[in-house]
Chains A and B, each alone.
Chain A
Amino acid sequence: MNPATARKIDIYFLPVAVASYLAFWIVLAIRPLDRGDWLLENLLIFISVGVLGFTYRKFQFSNFSYGLILMFLVLHTIGAHYTYAKVPAGFWLQEWLHLSRNHYDRVVHFAFGFVLLFPMREVLLRSAKAHAPWATWLAVTALAALSSFFEIVEAVVAQIVRPELGAAYLGTQGDIWDAQKDMAAALVGAVLTACWLSVGSQQRKRSTK
């Protein structure tokens, strides 16, 4: 690839990626399975896109990070369209592995850690100025904290909106350890990427010696 095309890709990547995501989002917004649930799930998208938009002038991620963030948002948008519990891919997985229920939400929790570790590490390196190895493991920590925070919010919402339904209300799909498993999935995802990045940076160090 010559430098001129590389520069073009660099410049046009974000607008093209955001535009394609927007188109995808609109298609899935037309007839979601459950409009109320869709709205609730979309709060996450509105908040995260809003934060990214407002901080764009102060902090710009690399294109790679924006790609990863959009990838995660695509997964979540699909989940929101199908109320998570009815995502077709989750049913395939259920039949294929003989699972007790649709595990698409667990997959997305895993992806939260696995995919978002890199952008989180980038913020910690460039904005918080953390030293390289610390940034990687603080990113794991931050994602684990965010997934705990998400479970707290989910529980508070459930207790306020439908106290009589309790844990059966939202997301848990009848599993008493659902919150713990979701957090564990995100943690495992984040640790996997962190190990991968650490091994990569060690190899680079060795090769430059």
Chain B
Amino acid sequence: MSGPLISRRKRILALASICAGVWIIAAIHPLDRQAWLLENILLVAFVGALCLTHRRLELSEASYLLLAAFVILHIIGAHYTYARMPLGLWAKDLFHLSRNHYDRVAHGAFGFLLAFPVREILLRFSGIRRGWSFWLAPAVILAVSGVFEIVESAVAEIVAPGQGVDWLGGQGDEWDAQNDMLSALIGSLLMMAATALSNFGKKAP
């Protein structure tokens, strides 16, 4: 496809610079510098992996757009230590929730936004059949969520032994890990359903 005003390369660069701009603004005065640093380890690893694999993967622009959306959600969450994200506090007051659910939303967004690029990678490299890809992409999302919860618990035990769930992310919910994983799973299944519906009858994978 040729003809659009700007090339694919420039569009992806523009996306990356938007993310970089948001990151710089959010890095200036985070509410808690230590929590911000911790959350950014994840971000640096993720973005680093994307940059290193960019040449080989050449994901679709839709995938890069979804990845950028997730990165921005995480940058905002990290700035506000997730628990004090204003939108979440606002929703808490409005719907009389027990706590700020922004992190739950981010977990759901993780599944929803990343299932599509994951499926794209699986289809392109692993050789699996199309029908299986709709189930294996959510499986990858759920497995990564599980590993994330394992790492989170290990970090919590090292940084604040004995405080358990209250220290990080749990916000006093004893089923926090399971509910986080569930929202990622639901998010990924929604995206797979949407992909299947929008590809229905087309030749698209």
Chain A interface (Cβ < 8 Å from any Cβ of B): 124, 127-131, 134-135, 138, 140-142, 144-149, 151-152, 154-156, 158-159, 166-167, 176-177, 179-180, 183-184, 187
Contacts and interface: CB of A to CB of B under 8 A. Distances in A.
B76 to A, nearest CB: 26
A187 B142 contact: no
Contact of A180 (B129, B177, B185): B177
Nearest to B178: A155
Contact of A177 (B125, B136, B146, B153): B153
A167 B174 contact: yes
8 contacts: A148-B181, A155-B178, A156-B178, A177-B157, A179-B178, A180-B149, A180-B177, A187-B150
Given A128-B128, A145-B139, A155-B178, 9 more contacts: A129-B127, A134-B126, A142-B139, A148-B149, A148-B181, A156-B182, A159-B175, A177-B153, A179-B149
B24 to A, nearest CB: 34
Contacts, number: 99
Contacts of B157: 177
Given A149-B185, A159-B175, A179-B178, A144 B128 contact: no
B143 interface: yes
**Chief secondary structure at chain A's binding surface:** helix
A129 B133 CA distance: 11
Interface string B154-175: 1001000000110000000011
A145 B143 contact: yes
